[in-house]
Each structure stands twice: as structure tokens, then as C-alpha cells.
Amino acid sequence: MSNAQRALEHAKTQRSAYMSGFSELLRIPSISTDPNYKAEVARCADWVRDEMRRIGMKNCQTIPTDGHPVVYGEWLEAGADKPTVLIYAHYDVQPVDPLNLWVTPPFEPTERDGKLYARGSEDDKAGVWANLKAIESILAVDGKLPVNVKLFFEGEEESGSPNMHPFVAGNKDLLNADLFVLCDGEFVRDQPSIVYSGRGIVAAEVTLTGPDHDLHSGTYGGTVHNPLHLAGKIIGSFHDDAGRIQIPGYYGAVRDLTAAELANLEQLWARTGVQFKERSGAAHFWGESVASTAVRATALPTLDVNGMWGGYQGPGTKTVLPSKAGFKVTMRLVNDQDPVEIGRMFKDYVMSFATETVSIEVSVPVAGYPFSTQFEGAGVEAVQQALVATVGKRALMERAGGSVPIAGMFQRELGIPMTHLGLGPGDNIHSPNEYIVIEDFYLAIDTAIHVLYNLISFK
Amino acid sequence: MSNAQRALEHAKTQRSAYMSGFSELLRIPSISTDPNYKAEVARCADWVRDEMRRIGMKNCQTIPTDGHPVVYGEWLEAGADKPTVLIYAHYDVQPVDPLNLWVTPPFEPTERDGKLYARGSEDDKAGVWANLKAIESILAVDGKLPVNVKLFFEGEEESGSPNMHPFVAGNKDLLNADLFVLCDGEFVRDQPSIVYSGRGIVAAEVTLTGPDHDLHSGTYGGTVHNPLHLAGKIIGSFHDDAGRIQIPGYYGAVRDLTAAELANLEQLWARTGVQFKERSGAAHFWGESVASTAVRATALPTLDVNGMWGGYQGPGTKTVLPSKAGFKVTMRLVNDQDPVEIGRMFKDYVMSFATETVSIEVSVPVAGYPFSTQFEGAGVEAVQQALVATVGKRALMERAGGSVPIAGMFQRELGIPMTHLGLGPGDNIHSPNEYIVIEDFYLAIDTAIHVLYNLISFK
């Protein structure tokens, strides 16, 4: 029996213990976007650090940032001839609204029909946990890892990683490695995929102020500018009816896909497009005259209003002309779109609506660069062979519509090869009733074990 | 000494008795909006009916509706050559929250510094009581009234009069009269006013549904129509940049003010405009190229979004493409604008934005007609001369920006001339520590006495 097989056997005997440890991790509400949860995020970081130590990792620590702490641990005794692998995942989670749509509470992990329901179960505590349990399994049977490993678990991915850039720039030695494995994403047993490209992101928040206090709309309507009206005008102006973004210069740095990329994308879409549409819950797609859905979903930039508010939202009628209105926006960027420049463009555009009757404030707190990882090579192949061993299939090479801001930044700051390994076998990320399929999660852990063995000859 | 003078003298001798009777009325918590007070509203109706009987009115009765009872009484022995005057007031009151801000309990009438504090003391038990005491004073000294009188006291004005339309439509003979006197409003000794016009109102709520559940905007942005974007387009389209409402046909039934009305309005505005602006808290007015602020505030229709919502409203960023968005609207109508027709126009306009990618629902739960009472004529003049006799001043003729839905309904259903007589000399209506100034309330009773004598020659 090979070392890998012994580790896999060990993981099998530990399944129940591994799942109960996972539930402990899922019980910590590490919501990074909400300042009220700051202490819980810190508690989660400490918990993960302690677990790293317990399984035999070295130099385990939480490293403070201006936001939430990074959890770091390493095991570097494989020898200088072995590669060093830097594994990334994030331990923070999305908010839980609307809470009333959760069948069971988001931070009380609950098993139903072979699924474990909890916020963060897929995104991305699965990535944290599968790696920890893979390492634990190997160290338990082997006393050592096949390669040098650095674990880097972020605590503010769901807030757009505002402090990761200075952190990485200031810790290049600590994070130096031969390969960066990005463990954030889905593990799909039937047909896994490797994301080789992700979009950049800019997040912005707009606040409009009309009169200095709420007014009676029967008395002041028509004489005082209602900031909700101007918010509507701005939101309504972002897209034309076809769905094309109207901010001047927005598409300036967008490049067409190469013929090979386009062929790969459309080929992939032929397999996944139906499911994409089913899962969307949309009867009809939108923007089809702009480009094909496969291209719009991954190779074009977007601008979405994620929330808007103002005035009275309760039952019945309230004749109020509110003082304030606001909305939140995220934009997804591709290719050479620079998030700093796009953020400035957005701000200038929105500010151009300000009048003497309604003032506008725009903040652009989050910006992340687009990224592309290896399309082929030994790093990707280590993941591919691991998947062949666990689910019997090679992964498809995919472009992601979403963003991993840290990936683009990593690529720019560290300049090391990257590959992607999704370890979350579930659904409903960022939505109520997030879950993982428990049986498939065991395969994800097995895959993480295989990857470490497969990387022995990477260097 | 004229009959009127003898009645006034009598009222003077009865002041203390009248005030203690008023306190009895104020002790009954006739809160019409709260179902828990249904029995108290009924008890108040019975009490008022008994008081009507006691002072010599005939055919006194409480008439049940699907909501709270109407109190009706009449005295029709003045002769067929005398006019019949239908006097309206309402005996129900507003809720009392926040209770902790009341210095003395809202239903324990308490005198402090010449003021009587109690919920309903101004709005509108003052209207009920001043008329009852005026009639009592006249009947006591004269044995008869100078005109035929019908008293119609409503019990659900503070709940939006949901059952008054069917009641009035079903009792046209009972309520038939030559003049309708609307006794709801302030009695301001220093400068009284007569409200001769109020705007109608239509309230609507719009719900937009895109995908059938919330989606990740990184995955689905640009391919699935975001209902917030369409909500913005609709809200943003309601007004042009000048502030003119863009719904086709919206201004169709709006008439220009007469030269006399306009002159009166601008004259009034010269006195009140500065305070209006100060109270608005707006640095600059809006819509000034459409019409003067005085005209926009009272003589033109409006459309205000009172609330909008959708997606994530908490702190930080959430990359959600929400399933639903919504907003609430109220419109104020003038002249011949029919709220049912405007409601339909609004609905048609908003529904025209619906696409195969976002569905729209529009509900129009509230509609009230605009009204205008007499601007000049014998009815108004009877009130004016009464005020000259009691406070030494003619009233200003005012257009209200707000709405009195029952007044518009009355006008349409009964088709009789109307005038307005405010009998509540106090402040803090709908707020804690509502009160009347006791000395001024005696003047209000005197004014009601004068009005009845002044109307002898109305017919």
C-alpha cells in the first residue's frame, strides 16, 4: 500500500470525526462584511490556528491586518529538493440575509438527506477544512508531508480583501513558494472543473442626500427634490435596454477572446449552459444581443446594483419624502481593466448627476484585479490526476464569471505559477440554505491528499 | 338683544359645564385604528348620540357600518324656506404612541396654563363638541335653530374612512342638504384660515421579480436581468429633469388656477413661503421651471416615491443579484384628476416596463378624490362673518397640499356646496400632548353659533 493509499484509508476511518470538527468550524459566524461580527471572525481565526497546530503544522499563527487576521501555518521539512506549495482558502463567510428563508439556522450545521446545511459549508470553509484534513491524514500515517506546504487562510475574502494587498506586499518571503494553489470554488463530482481565469471586481456605495430631514410628501412633494427619484435616474442609466453598460470608456480595456479561448468556452458552454440556466431560476436571459451568454458570463465586464434603499419599506403607506437614498454596486472586470481606473470612472459618472438639490457621495471601498492561472503544466496536471483518481474524470478548463480579487493581486505581487482546486461540493453559496453533499466532501478531502502527493515532482 | 347675542350670552354662563362635558367626551379612548379599541369607539358613539338627544336634536342614532358607527342627529323644524346644513366632524382619535412622551395620560384630560391636554382635544372632538354646544346654546334660549341642521359625526376618519364611501352612497337622502360644512381642522385665533382645496391621493406599490431566487452577481451578472436595474429605470423615468411628471396624460385633467385664486395663493405665499422653505430643510427648491413653488405645493399634482428596496442593505458588500425589488409611490391629485383613472394610468405606465426577463406587479390600494370647497359665496361668507365677529378677522383662503379623502368623496356623491370651518384651537394633533387653548375654544363655540345664524339666508 502506497503512502497515499494509507493516508486515504486513514481519512476514511476518520470521516465521522472530520465531519464533527467541520461542524464546529461552521458554527462560528465569521461574517467578514459586518463589523458586528469582527470578534467572531477573530475567534474563527484562532480556532483554525489551533486546529493547524493540533494536526502537526508548524509556526502556526494569526497575523493581524487592518481588517481581519490571516491564519498562517507551514510544514517545511520535506527537503529543499521538494517543491513548496502555498495553499490558499478563506475562512470568512457571506452574510445570511434573508434569514427567514433558511430552513435551519445558518450557524447550526444540520444534516438532511446526505447534505450538511450551513453558511460557509461550501464557500469556503470547505477549502480550509479539506486541506487541513488532507494534511492531518498524511501526517497521521506518514509523519511527514510529501512536499513543503504553506497554508494561507484569509479572513476577508467576502469583503473584497481590502487589506490583503498590503499584507502580501509586506510578507513576500513568508509567502514565497513554487506553486500557488487557489482553493476556493466548487467541487463537482460528476464533472469537475479548473478555473483558469477570474474577473476583477470593484465595489462601490452611493449615498444621495436631498432635504436635511424626512419630509411629509403631501406638503413638500413637487417642491423638494426626492433623492429616491435621482437614485432611480442613476440606476436606470447604467445600462441601455440591450444590457450594455453606459459609463463612458467602460469597455476600453476589454479584449476579444482568442479563437482558441472562444472555441473552448463555447464547447464548455454546450455542456454546462443548460444547468447554468436552470440554476439561475430565470425564465429568460438578458443582454443576448450584446454577446453570447457564455461570453457575457465570463469574458465581459458587468455592473450590478446589489442593493438599494430609501424611505419607508414597511407595510401600508407612509407619505414620506425621505432625506436619503442609497445603493450598492459591484462591477466585474476582465483582461486589462484596471479596478482603480474603473472605480474612478464610476465615481465620476455618478457624481455627474449631483445637483444643487441632491448631493451625492460615492465610496469605492473594494477593488480587485482580474487574473488568469496556468492553462496547462505540472501544477494543473497534479490536480487533474488527483481528480482522475477520485472522481474518474479530468476537469474542464473554465473561465469564471466571479472574482477572486486576491488571485489577481497575488499574480501581480508574487509572480509564481498558480492553479486552482475547488473543494466545495454543494450549492447555494451567498444564498439561504448553503450546503455541501457529505459523501462528495470526503472525495474532496481525498483529492487534496492526492494533489499533495502528485506535486512531489513539480519543482 | 338679538337671538344670536342671547345664545352667546348663554354659552358664556355655561362655560364651566361645557368644559366638564368636553372632558367626559375626551375620557373615552375612541382610537379607530386599533381593533382593541372597537368597543370604546362604539361607547363614544353612544355617548355622543345620547348627548345629541339631551340637547334637543331629533332622530338621534348610531348607524352601524362595516367599521365604526356613524352618529347622526337632525333638527329640521326651521321651515322649508330655511336652508338645511349638514355638519361633519369626527369623534374618533389617533393612537397615543409614544405614550411615554405624554406629560399627563392622554385620556385623562388635564388643564395646565389655560390649556386642556388630551388626545382628540383638537382633532376632532373639538369639532364635535363646539357644534353640539352651539346648538345647545341656541335651543336653550330660542327653542329652535335658525336653520335646519343635520349632524354627521364619523368614527373612522383616522383610519382613512374605509367605510364612508358605501355609507354616503347608501344614505344620500338622509344626508341631503343645501350646504356641507366640514368641521375638521385648526381654529387659529390670531389668523384663521379656511381650507378651500385639498389634493386627492393615489397610493401604489410596485414589485418587480427577476430570477426566482437571489443569485450570485459574479456568476449571473450580465446574463440575468437584475430587477433593481429595471426598478431604477422606472423610478428614473417618472420625472424629467425639470420635475415634470412623464406619465402620458397625467396632467390632462389639471386646470389652471383662476386669476383670483392665483393672486390669493401668491399673496398667501408671500406670508408663509419663507417658513415653508425653512421647515423643508432643503437648500434649494426643485421644479422651479415648472411653476412657482406656491403653485407646485398646492395646485399641481405630484408623484413621489416614498420608499424603495431590494437586495442587500446592510454594511459592506454583498455580491447578490436579487430576485425582487420594489417601491411605494403616492401621487397627489388636483381638480378633476380622478384617482381611479390616475391609478390605472400609473399601473399601465409601470406595467409597460415589464419584459420577459422581469415581471411586475402593481397594486393601487388607496385612492382619494381631490376636493374644493367654495372659494367665495354665501357659505364661505357665513364663516367669514362669524370669524370677524369672534376674532375680529377674516380667514385666509388656503389650498392644502395634503389630502382629506372624505371631502372629495362627499363632493362627488352628494354634489352640494361645501365650506370649511376649523374649530380646534390647539396643537400637537397626531402627537403626544395634544391640547386646546381653553379661552380660544369658547371663541370656537361662539363662531359655530354665529355660523348657524349667518346661514339663515343661504338658500
pLDDT digits (tens, 9 = 90+) for A177-210: 999 999 999 999 999 999 888 899 999 999 999 9
- Give the pLDDT confidence score for residue B376 in this predicted structure: 87
Tell me how close the Cα of B23 comes to any Cα of chain A, in angstroms: 32
Tell me how close the Cα of B453 comes to any Cα of chain A, in angstroms: 35
As a whole number of angstroms, the distance between CA A443 and CA A288 comes to: 38
Q: Considering CB atoms only, which of A217, A235, A332 is closest to B330? A: A217
pLDDT digits (tens, 9 = 90+) for A59-97: 999 999 999 999 999 999 999 999 999 999 999 999 999
As a whole number of angstroms, the distance between CA B246 and CA B239 comes to: 5
Chain A residue with Cα closest to B309: A309
pLDDT at B295 exceeding the cut of 90: yes
A interface test, pick of B158, B239, B286, B430 with most A CB neighbours within 10 Å: B286
As a whole number of angstroms, the distance between CA A44 and CA A25 comes to: 7
pLDDT at B329 exceeding the cut of 80: yes
Q: Which helix (H) or strand (E) holds A219?
A: helix A217-220
DSSP one-letter code for A383 = H
C-alpha cell read off for A224: 423638494
Angle at which helices A125-142 and A438-454 cross, to 10°? 60
As a whole number of angstroms, the distance between CA B199 and CA A215 comes to: 17
pLDDT at A293 exceeding the cut of 90: yes
pLDDT at A134 exceeding the cut of 80: yes
- Confidence bin at B322 (pLDDT 50/70/90): very high
Chain A residue with Cα closest to B237: A233
- Give the pLDDT confidence score for residue B437 in this predicted structure: 98
User: Which of A458, A409, A455, A353 is CA-nearest to residue A152?
Assistant: A409
User: Which of B152, B18, B147, B242 is CA-nearest to residue B451?
Assistant: B147
As a whole number of angstroms, the distance between CA A116 and CA A108 comes to: 10
* Count of CA atoms in the C-beta half-sphere (13 A) of A81: 1
As a whole number of angstroms, the distance between CA B399 and CA B370 comes to: 11
pLDDT digits (tens, 9 = 90+) for B180-216: 999 999 999 999 999 999 999 999 999 999 999 999 9
- Confidence bin at B1 (pLDDT 50/70/90): confident
- Give the pLDDT confidence score for residue A50 in this predicted structure: 98
* Domain layout of chain A by residue ranges: 3-198+370-457, 201-265+298-367
Q: Which residues of B touch A282 (CB under 8 A)?
A: 210-212, 220, 224-225, 357
Beta-strand relationship, B110-112 and B115-117: antiparallel
Chain B residue with Cα closest to A432: B214
- Give the pLDDT confidence score for residue A179 in this predicted structure: 96
pLDDT at B269 exceeding the cut of 80: yes
pLDDT digits (tens, 9 = 90+) for B121-162: 999 999 999 999 999 999 999 999 999 999 999 999 988 888
C-alpha cell read off for B344: 390605472
- Give the pLDDT confidence score for residue B74 in this predicted structure: 98
Q: Considering CB atoms only, which of B224, B308, B312 is closest to A280? A: B224
Point out the least confidently predicted range of A109-113, A354-358, A371-375, B81-85.
A371-375
Tell me how close the Cα of B459 comes to any Cα of chain A, in angstroms: 35
Is this model's pTM higher than 0.80 or not?
no
Do B220 and A332 count as a contact with CB atoms less than 8 A apart? no
Tell me how close the Cα of B396 comes to any Cα of chain A, in angstroms: 18
Strand partners, B400: B198
Q: Is A413 left (phi over 0), alpha (psi -120 to 50) or beta?
A: alpha
Higher pLDDT, A9 or A162: A9
B interface test, pick of A305, A323, A333 with most B CB neighbours within 10 Å: A305
Q: How many A/B residue pairs have CB atoms within 8 Å?
A: 316
Do A302 and B219 count as a contact with CB atoms less than 8 A apart? no
As a whole number of angstroms, the distance between CA B177 and CA B163 comes to: 21
Residue B416 CB: number of other CB atoms within 10 A? 16
Identity of the amino acid at A14: Q
Higher pLDDT, A63 or A262: A63
Q: Tell me the three state secondary structure of residue A318.
A: coil
pLDDT digits (tens, 9 = 90+) for B352-371: 999 999 999 999 987 788 99
Q: What is the mean pLDDT of chain A?
A: 94
Q: In what order do the strands lie in the sheet with B148-154?
A: B58-63, B70-75, B148-154, B84-90, B179-182, B418-420
B227 neighbors B325 (Cβ within 8 angstroms): yes
Q: Which residues of A touch B330 (CB under 8 A)?
A: 217-218, 221, 317, 319
- Give the pLDDT confidence score for residue B195 in this predicted structure: 92
Q: Which helix (H) or strand (E) holds B305?
A: strand B302-311
**Chain center to CA of A74:** 23
Do B317 and A365 count as a contact with CB atoms less than 8 A apart? yes
Phi–psi pair at A55, nearest 5 degrees: -85, -5
Tell me how close the Cα of B231 comes to any Cα of chain A, in angstroms: 7
- Give the pLDDT confidence score for residue A375 in this predicted structure: 75
Chain A residue with Cα closest to B222: A302
- Confidence bin at B220 (pLDDT 50/70/90): very high
**Chain center to CA of B258:** 24
- Give the pLDDT confidence score for residue B336 in this predicted structure: 87
Strand partners, B62: B71
Do B220 and A94 count as a contact with CB atoms less than 8 A apart? no
A interface test, pick of B201, B209, B223, B334 with most A CB neighbours within 10 Å: B223
Q: Tell me the three state secondary structure of residue B171.
A: coil
Q: Which residues of A touch B200 (CB under 8 A)?
A: none
Chain A residue with Cα closest to B245: A222
Report, as an integer, the average pLDDT of A385-400.
92
- Give the pLDDT confidence score for residue A14 in this predicted structure: 97
CA distances from B211 to A279, A430, A440, B24, B398 (A): 10, 15, 28, 59, 50
Buried b (16+ CB within 10 A) or exposed e, A28-53: bbbbbbbeebeebbbebbebbbebbe
Report, as an integer, the average pLDDT of B435-441.
98
- Give the pLDDT confidence score for residue B97 in this predicted structure: 85
Beta-strand relationship, A179-182 and A84-90: parallel
Residue showing cell 442593505: B313
Higher pLDDT, A459 or B247: B247
Q: Which residues of A touch B405 (CB under 8 A)?
A: none
- Give the pLDDT confidence score for residue B402 in this predicted structure: 77
As a whole number of angstroms, the distance between CA B288 and CA B241 comes to: 11
- Give the pLDDT confidence score for residue A271 in this predicted structure: 84
ipTM score for this prediction: 0.81
Report, as an integer, the average pLDDT of A432-448.
97
pLDDT digits (tens, 9 = 90+) for A94-126: 999 989 999 999 999 999 999 999 999 999 999
CATH of region A3-198+370-457: 3.40.630.10
pLDDT at B458 exceeding the cut of 90: no
pLDDT at B110 exceeding the cut of 80: yes
Proportion of chain A in helix, strand, coil states, percent, rounded to 5: 40, 25, 40
Fold of A201-265+298-367: Alpha-Beta Plaits (3.30.70)
Point out the least confidently predicted range of A128-137, A194-203, B166-175.
A194-203
As a whole number of angstroms, the distance between CA A389 and CA A212 comes to: 65
CATH of region B200-254+301-368: 3.30.70.360
- Confidence bin at A407 (pLDDT 50/70/90): confident
pLDDT at A367 exceeding the cut of 90: no
The answer for residues whose C-beta is within 8 angstroms of residue A41's C-beta and 6 or more apart is: A30, A31, A32, A68, A69, A92, A155, A156
Q: Which residues of A touch B216 (CB under 8 A)?
A: 402, 429-431
Instruction: Please report, rounded to a whole number, the percentage of residues in chain A having pLDDT higher than 90.
Output: 80
Do B307 and A313 count as a contact with CB atoms less than 8 A apart? yes
Using CB atoms within 10 A of its CB, is residue B20 exposed (0-12), middle (13-18) or buried (19+)? exposed
C-alpha cell read off for A294: 457564455
As a whole number of angstroms, the distance between CA A129 and CA B86 comes to: 79
Report, as an integer, the average pLDDT of B452-458.
94
pLDDT digits (tens, 9 = 90+) for A223-236: 999 999 999 999 99
Does a cis peptide bond (omega within 30 degrees of 0) precede residue B98? yes
Tell me how close the Cα of B429 comes to any Cα of chain A, in angstroms: 15
Tell me how close the Cα of B202 comes to any Cα of chain A, in angstroms: 10
Using CB atoms within 10 A of its CB, is residue A361 exposed (0-12), middle (13-18) or buried (19+)? middle
Report the alpha-carbon angle B93-B94-B99, nearest 5. Answer: 120
